[in-house]
Every structure is written in structure tokens, then in C-alpha cells.
Amino acid sequence: MTTPDTARKLFQTAYESRYTWDKNFPGYSADVQVVQGAEVYTGQVRINHDMSIEVTRVSDQQVAEGIYTQLQDMVTHRQRISFEESHGNHEFVLGERDNTDAVEILVKGNSIDSNYKIRDKQVCQVNRTMGRMAFVIDTYKSLDTGEGYIPISYQATFRNTQTNKVTSILKFEDTYEKIGDYYIMTKQVVQEYIDDKNTTNTDFKYSNIVLN
């Protein structure tokens, strides 16, 4: 009878060990440069206090949407939401411990179930299936900010659930710097692999960061 409580406590500890921005986070503005192959795009971004995102002065609409998506993913992980609000109604099931000393935890929610692996009080893997697509995110390195951890080297593997074939792999390398009281992303390098071949490299660089 203690297993669900153990699973819940392990997951809650990892969840609450993440680095997030506090309620006083003012937002910030920055210049952005995107380099993709020989193409270079520039523009400006703004993260507001309410976590809304603005991307302006980018000449290519598709690139602007890519910047927005990247920032949205980052903001989702930096936004502070209590464990009870996010997972209070979820069921937690303890799985096996693998040879890297990571413990598997199944989190059953209202609409979707997810498998996680926890190691050293951090989420080191997320495994989720959504219809015909499944993905696994493995974290290889994290930044210890002293106020929580931020994954900075990780890989997302996507596969077709009907054929079980890997459709693409994205490898991420993130850089954060402390601006004022807050850690802000200043760079992200994304490498895309299809059929084991590196097809696309995209660099996002943020400079002249000013808190609002």
C-alpha cells in the first residue's frame, strides 16, 4: 500500500526540484538571431510577466513561428505551477529501477498516461504516446542553478506507433545565463536527424537581454 505514496513522493520531489521563475518574474526583451545552414534571420522577442510571448521583426513567417514555438516550450518549463495544480488528481505507479539507477514512474492523468524516469531527484526521461506518434525525451546533462535544475543537454526521439519506426531525432544543447535574479536562455542549438543522418542544424541566439 506504500508504493503509490513512494511513487508520488519521488515524482513530486523531482517536479519541485526544477528551476522555475518566481511570481515576481518581470519578463524580458531580447534580440534574436536564427542561423539555419547558410540562412540567417534576426528579430526581437519579448516574454511578458504573464508568460505571453511576442516575436517581431522576423522577415520569414515560418522562422518567426519556430522562434515562438521554441520560446513557448522554454516558458512552459520555467513557469511555476504547484505540484497539486499540475498533478494533484493523477495516479502514480512505481516501476522498475534500471542499470543507471533511474526509477520508472507511470503517471496516469485524465487524458494521457506518461512514463517518467527519476534519477538523483531529477526527471531524466519522459516517455509519452499520443495517437500514432510517440516520443521519448532523454536528459543527459543539467545545470544546477542553486535554485533548481535546468536540463541543458537532451534528446527527443519520435517514432510511429503503428510501424515502431523512428521518424526523427532532435538533439538539443541549451545555454542559460543569470540576468539580474533570473536564469534566461541565451542560446539553443538543435540538430535534427532523419534515418541516422544529420539533416538540419538550427542555432537560436538571444542577446541584449533586458528585464522588463
Q: Which residues in 48-181 belong to E strands, given as ranges?
A: 53-56, 91-97, 103-108, 113-119, 122-130, 133-144, 149-160, 166-179
Question: What is the predicted pLDDT for the residue at 1?
Answer: 34
CA 140 → CA 125, 152, 186, 204, distances in Å?
A: 9, 8, 19, 20
Question: What is the predicted pLDDT for the residue at 2?
Answer: 42
Question: What is the predicted pLDDT for the residue at 3?
Answer: 53
Per-residue pLDDT tens digits for 190-205: 999 999 899 999 999 9
Q: Give the helix/strand (H/E) hosting 183.
A: strand 182-194
**What is the greatest pairwise CA distance in the chain?**
59
Residue 75 φ then ψ, to 5°? -65, -40
Question: What is the predicted pLDDT for the residue at 153?
Answer: 98
DSSP string, 52-63: -EEEES-S-HHH
Are 80 and 20 a contacting pair, CB within 8 Å? yes
Are 65 and 56 a contacting pair, CB within 8 Å? no
pLDDT less than 50: residues of the chain: 1-2
Q: Give the helix/strand (H/E) hosting 88.
A: none
**Is pTM, for the whole model, over 0.75?**
yes
Using a 10 angstrom Cβ sphere, with 0-12 exposed, 13-18 middle and 19 or more buried, the burial of residue 89 is: exposed
Are 5 and 93 a contacting pair, CB within 8 Å? no
Q: Is the dihedral of CA 58, 59, 65, 70 positive or negative?
A: negative
